Chains A and B, each alone.
Chain A
Amino acid sequence: EVQLVQSGGGLVQPGESLRLSCAASGFIFKTFEMNWVRQAPGKGLEWVSYISSRGDDIFYADSVKGRFTISRDNAKNSLYLQMNSLRAEDTAVYYCARGTSMAHWGQGNLVTVSS
């Protein structure tokens, strides 16, 4: 069974940093592209970042470019999102998702940026 189990998240102040993790199991992680998607409270889905299977192609939404860093460790079957210089508008539930047609999603982690 494909599983994506997320960890991290929580309450931080503006300007602080946070790291999200996504542990994959039930499939050959190193062969799949991965994405981070977020959803602000009461809002729609927003794509955040993409990483290719080997980690050599990376893309970001303009809203997070220069502040967020996506990475992966294929030996540990894990995906990460390092979020720096967090802003109030980054408050959202963050999901990891497999592939560009996102057939599998993590359970989501709430990130709240507030003073």
Chain B
Amino acid sequence: DIQTTQSPSSLSASVGDRVTITCQTSQNINIYLNWYQQKPGKAPKLLINAASSLQSGVPSRFSGSGSGTDFTLTITSLQPEDFATYYCQQSYTTPLTFGGGTKVEIK
């Protein structure tokens, strides 16, 4: 099985900050990596698929990069509505695996 490791598990940041979350997989998954945002009591929302492809309607302050085993989600200027938990997920092969999540909290 492909292990998907996300860091940090939580972070505190202020509105306007640049935030970076990393995801590492135990095997080469090319660009089969997706990023989700989840707010309490809600279903996850797909932000980025194929490592760097921004979903329609997602603000351009979100971006993704990487390939192979190392990936990054960047939020360039954190907004109040961005405080949430973020997950990476590999879609290269089953079992599909998610990272443990990164909770972005207000400093």
Contacts and interface: CB of A to CB of B under 8 A. Distances in A.
A60 to B, nearest CB: 8
A79 B15 CA distance: 41
A73 interface: no
B32 to A, nearest CB: 8
Interface residues of B, number: 21
B43 A95 contact: yes
B101 A101 contact: no
Contact of A105 (B44, B50, B95): B44
A102 B34 contact: yes
B46 A50 contact: no
A13 B106 CA distance: 40
Interface in B33-74: 34, 36, 38, 43-46, 49-50, 55
Contacts of A45: 36, 38, 44, 87, 89, 98, 101
B91 interface: yes
B63 to A, nearest CB: 17
Contacts of B89: 45, 47, 102
A47 B92 CA distance: 13
Contacts of B44: 45, 95, 102, 105
Give the interface centre of A35, A59, A61, A102 by most chain B CB atoms within 10 Å.
Answer: A102
A42 B87 CA distance: 14
B11 interface: no
Interface of A: 35, 44-47, 50, 59, 61-62, 95, 100-103, 105-108
Interface of B: 34, 36, 38, 43-46, 49-50, 55, 87, 89, 91, 94-101
